[in-house]
Chains A and B, each alone.
Chain A
């Protein structure tokens, strides 16, 4: 149920995002979704790609610092309260969210929230106990 996410260090200057995407494009790697946490001077670029090992490889070869982190992709109904209900469950389970970002894909009325939890093992258990639907890598990328 866990998904491998690529985290990259990027400077906050023109062209730095382009150089990351260019490397992926040249290697025919498609980005499912991404998020950028930024400060005035630098940022952390988080990417979900199917071929994460290959992507890590080519990005490192191109000189980037790449870390693999495990995240969870959880579908949420696209209606008022959809996310609030999920967060209430996570909160009751004592889950600490380090960061999260959202995207939509496919043609249904669901959004997907990507969560990075402080304790991924505990997260697995809470999600299972509460029978929360978690998107498997195979469903996310194919």
Chain B
């Protein structure tokens, strides 16, 4: 454990709002949100089907009468069908992987971007960021919300940003050393990787100025937190978000680190049983369902995140009144997170279908040798794409690699295997073997 102590500082007084005040604000915002959503054809249809109209929302309990929104709704309304404002009012567009082909878009107005930065500032300050700090972002900058979301949050706090983006660990370390970086922003597995490279190079972590780290983008454990804290001599904080809702900033840990405070003035979070769709009690594990109350460009009603976690409403010593959520401990669908990037097995299947004769027999194997995720795709050979020439076989592998990269954005190890060697399934096929060990 690090000797750095995080003094409890609260960025926005709203984080200490009393329950009655918070509920009143939420209800007012929920009514407004539903009104704005009702102007979007998708929600018009969905509300009509559920037999509810915007003016029937009289209490927060009425939230449960509203229909769920799922990822395929976003895909079917690609690119701009879920917008509540004209495209001309957009200030930025981010995206995450869709289950197939097209990505899932997230549009922001200027006000949305400001809100997003404010929300990131809240959890960054809760987790020790101060205006005098320098923070290095080792998340990819691009359509992925991790890089830019944190970037503007750090600037909002008044700290200096080092937008290193992802990869090139040697350069990341050089920047941390030379610039006296205080705070690291990345995925927890990448932090472990940095720690390992430091050790290989014989650089003592104490020789860096690093004090804190804010991690998000993938599942991790308390055991990983202990490892990173002892290897890098820092204090680590967890944050949570998803691009469909806004990106990072939905929730984050305070100094007490007993769960991530949900920014409840902007997000209504429910926890449901993913099978019965009934709410589960606080303290019980379920799927998070999030309503984004205040986003102008894309209000989102009851989005099924597929992330499994637990909500806690007991008081927190930090003084924030917002409820907390525990770590995401799994998914209620088959989405994989590979080095912070969302990957669906259906995307790999789609890529293979583009290469003649490769589907339907394939297997995805995920592992974490060392600290970084690796994903291998085993594809059964067929007579029609077998060539006696090695160059042709290498071309086949490259084509598969190219199609998978084009759809998922990440490189996978392609393995051609003999026919009839992958297991056949009578019922639902098991296409993924995840050998990553995430143990506490």
Judged by a CB distance under 8 angstroms, whether A84 is at the interface is no
A44 to B393, CA, bound (A): 9
**Are A65 and B383 in contact, CB atoms less than 8 angstroms apart?**
yes
Given contacts A44-B393, A67-B388, A116-B388, contact A10 B383 (CB under 8 A): no
Q: Which residue of B is nearest A38, CB measured? A: B390
Find residues 389-431 in chain B having any chain A CB closer than 8 Å to their own CB: 389-390, 393-394, 415-421
CB distance from A49 to the nearest CB of B (A): 15
Contact of B389 (CB < 8 Å), options: A42, A64, A66, A99: A99
Find residues 241-258 in chain B having any chain A CB closer than 8 Å to their own CB: none
Q: Which residue of A is nearest B383, CB measured? A: A65
Judged by a CB distance under 8 angstroms, whether A28 is at the interface is no
**Are A63 and B386 in contact, CB atoms less than 8 angstroms apart?**
no
**Are B417 and A67 in contact, CB atoms less than 8 angstroms apart?**
no
**Are B388 and A10 in contact, CB atoms less than 8 angstroms apart?**
no
**Are B386 and A9 in contact, CB atoms less than 8 angstroms apart?**
yes
**Are A65 and B388 in contact, CB atoms less than 8 angstroms apart?**
no
A67 to B419, CA, bound (A): 14
Judged by a CB distance under 8 angstroms, whether A46 is at the interface is yes
**Are B417 and A63 in contact, CB atoms less than 8 angstroms apart?**
no
**Are A46 and B388 in contact, CB atoms less than 8 angstroms apart?**
yes
Q: State the interface size on chain A (CB cutoff 8 A).
A: 21
- Chain A residues contacting B156 (CB-CB under 8 Å) are none
**Are A65 and B381 in contact, CB atoms less than 8 angstroms apart?**
yes
CB distance from B369 to the nearest CB of A (A): 16
**Are B389 and A65 in contact, CB atoms less than 8 angstroms apart?**
no
Judged by a CB distance under 8 angstroms, whether A69 is at the interface is yes
**Are A11 and B390 in contact, CB atoms less than 8 angstroms apart?**
no
Judged by a CB distance under 8 angstroms, whether B382 is at the interface is yes
**Are A65 and B418 in contact, CB atoms less than 8 angstroms apart?**
yes
Contact of A39 (CB < 8 Å), options: B386, B390, B419: B390
CB distance from A32 to the nearest CB of B (A): 17
A39 to B416, CA, bound (A): 11
CB distance from A119 to the nearest CB of B (A): 13
CB distance from B381 to the nearest CB of A (A): 5
A99 to B392, CA, bound (A): 13
**Are B416 and A41 in contact, CB atoms less than 8 angstroms apart?**
yes
CB distance from A36 to the nearest CB of B (A): 11
CB distance from A63 to the nearest CB of B (A): 5
Contact of B390 (CB < 8 Å), options: A10, A37, A63: A37
**Are A63 and B419 in contact, CB atoms less than 8 angstroms apart?**
yes
CB distance from A3 to the nearest CB of B (A): 14
- Chain B residues contacting A41 (CB-CB under 8 Å) are 415-416
**Are B381 and A9 in contact, CB atoms less than 8 angstroms apart?**
yes
Contact of B388 (CB < 8 Å), options: A16, A39, A44, A64: A44
Q: Which residue of B is nearest A43, CB measured? A: B390
Q: Per-residue 0/1 for B298-331: is the Cβ within 8 Å of any A Cβ (1 yes, 0 no)? A: 0000000000000000000000000000000000
Judged by a CB distance under 8 angstroms, whether A121 is at the interface is no
A5 to B393, CA, bound (A): 18
- Chain B residues contacting A42 (CB-CB under 8 Å) are 393, 415-417
- Chain A residues contacting B419 (CB-CB under 8 Å) are 63-65
Q: Which residue of A is nearest B420, CB measured? A: A63
- Chain B residues contacting A46 (CB-CB under 8 Å) are 388
**Are B388 and A69 in contact, CB atoms less than 8 angstroms apart?**
yes
- Chain A residues contacting B390 (CB-CB under 8 Å) are 37, 39, 44, 99
CB distance from A10 to the nearest CB of B (A): 7
Find residues 59-73 in chain A having any chain B CB closer than 8 Å to their own CB: 63-67, 69
Q: Which residue of B is nearest A71, CB measured? A: B388
A16 to B381, CA, bound (A): 15
Most buried by B among A9, A10, A11, A64: A9
Find residues 85-124 in chain B having any chain A CB closer than 8 Å to their own CB: none
**Are A64 and B416 in contact, CB atoms less than 8 angstroms apart?**
no
A39 to B387, CA, bound (A): 14
Q: Which residue of B is nearest A116, CB measured? A: B388
Contact of A16 (CB < 8 Å), options: B382, B386, B394, B418: B418
CB distance from A9 to the nearest CB of B (A): 5
Q: Per-residue 0/1 for A1-21: is the Cβ within 8 Å of any B Cβ (1 yes, 0 no)? A: 000010101110000100000
A2 to B64, CA, bound (A): 76
Q: Per-residue 0/1 for B170-202: is the Cβ within 8 Å of any A Cβ (1 yes, 0 no)? A: 000000000000000000000000000000000
- Chain B residues contacting A37 (CB-CB under 8 Å) are 390
Q: List 5 A-B contacts (CB under 8 A).
A: A10-B418, A11-B421, A42-B415, A44-B393, A65-B418
In the A-B complex, the 8 residue pairs with the smallest Cβ-Cβ separation, listed nearest first, are: A7-B388, A69-B388, A65-B386, A37-B390, A9-B381, A42-B416, A9-B386, A63-B420
| Other 18 A-B pairs with CB < 8 A, given A9-B386, A44-B388 | A9-B416, A10-B418, A11-B418, A39-B390, A42-B393, A42-B415, A42-B416, A44-B390, A44-B393, A63-B418, A63-B420, A64-B418, A65-B386, A65-B419, A67-B386, A67-B387, A98-B389, A116-B388
List residues of A whose CB falls within 8 A of some B CB. Answer: 5, 7, 9-11, 16, 37, 39, 41-42, 44, 46, 63-67, 69, 98-99, 116
List residues of B whose CB falls within 8 A of some A CB. Answer: 381-383, 386-390, 393-394, 415-421
